[in-house]
């Protein structure tokens, strides 16, 4: 799995690509933690854009939960966007849809989250 990180002002966007399974979860967790910490200044907003995420396991879901909790503790707005149907079904079945802010696409997330400058 590949992870890209983009920064727009005080918004950090983490983009996982491929399969987020047990083997990839630890590296993804490190990447998300680094994004939450920021480079000297923590972001105001963290968005995980799942447009290129093909699969997620329970280990991957755990990283999303830890990211949401870490963002909340740090006062960082957190959202997930662009869930493809198979990944969205996992979020639905796990109940994560009810405990995380999920937007249909990145532009909607940027428009609706405070601190994105949109």
List of the chain residues with pLDDT < 70: 39-40, 115-118
Whether pTM exceeds 0.85:
yes
Sequence-ordered list of residues with C-beta below 8 angstroms from that of 14, at least 6 positions apart, any chain: 3, 4, 5, 31, 32, 35, 46, 47, 48, 49
- Distance from C-alpha of 52 to C-alpha of 99, rounded to nearest angstrom: 22
- What would the two tokens of residue 9 be? 């002002």
- Render pLDDT for 78-93 as a digit per residue (tens, 0 to 9): 999 999 999 999 999 9
């Amino acid at each position: 799995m590949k992870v890209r990180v983009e920064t727009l002002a005080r918004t950090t966007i983490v983009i996982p690509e491929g399969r987020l399974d047990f083997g990839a979860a630890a590296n993804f967790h490190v990447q998300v933690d680094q994004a939450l910490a920021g480079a000297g200044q923590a972001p105001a907003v963290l968005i995980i854009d799942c447009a290129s995420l093909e699969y997620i396991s329970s280990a991957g879901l755990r990283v999303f939960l830890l990211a949401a909790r870490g963002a909340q503790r740090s006062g960082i707005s957190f959202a997930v966007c662009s869930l493809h149907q198979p990944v969205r079904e996992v979020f639905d079945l796990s109940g994560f849809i009810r405990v995380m802010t999920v937007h249909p696409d990145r532009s909607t997330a940027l428009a609706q989250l405070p601190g994105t400058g949109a």
